[in-house]
């Protein structure tokens, strides 16, 4: 499924202020209802130097691309990895599956 990238600071701030949170072992996911599916990644400097942060971002984008079909409705989503978590593709994929199930349950009510 195609998705848009969140790049503007105003869009990030809107999600941080008004978005709902869902937690999993490796990821915190902020989401807000939208017209089209869009995704952004926020990785802090606590995760390490630029090379490691960029690798985490690439892994998160790839895992999101594989699992975004599980979302029942379009959302704006920010993915925030937890410090000290497991930074592998499979771990992020499992965490996203868990988060998307919770998002879909909350969206039904």
Residue 86 has a pLDDT of 82
Task: Give the CATH number, domain containing residue 75.
Answer: 3.30.230.10
CA distance 104 to 107: 5
- For residue 33, the enclosing domain spans 4-108
- The structure tokens 């709902």 sit at 20
Report the relative pairing of strands 4-5 and 20-23 from DSSP bridges: unpaired
Q: How many domains does the chain have?
A: 1
Q: From first to last of its 109 residues, what are the pLDDT tens digits of the chain?
A: 688 999 999 999 999 999 999 999 999 999 999 999 999 999 999 999 999 999 999 999 999 999 999 999 999 999 999 998 789 999 999 999 999 999 999 877 5
Angle 57-63-64 (CA atoms, 0-180°, nearest 5)?
85
């Amino acid at each position: 499924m195609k998705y848009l990238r969140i790049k503007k600071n105003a869009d990030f701030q809107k999600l941080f202020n008004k978005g709902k949170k869902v937690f999993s072992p490796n990821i915190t996911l902020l989401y807000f209802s939208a017209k089209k599916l869009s995704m952004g990644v926020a990785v802090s400097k606590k995760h390490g130097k630029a090379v490691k942060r960029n690798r985490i971002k690439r892994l998160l984008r790839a895992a999101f691309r594989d699992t975004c079909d599980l979302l029942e409705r379009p959302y704006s989503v920010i993915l925030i990895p937890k410090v000290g978590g497991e930074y592998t593709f499979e771990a992020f994929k499992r965490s996203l599956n868990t988060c998307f199930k919770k998002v879909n349950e909350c969206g039904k009510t």
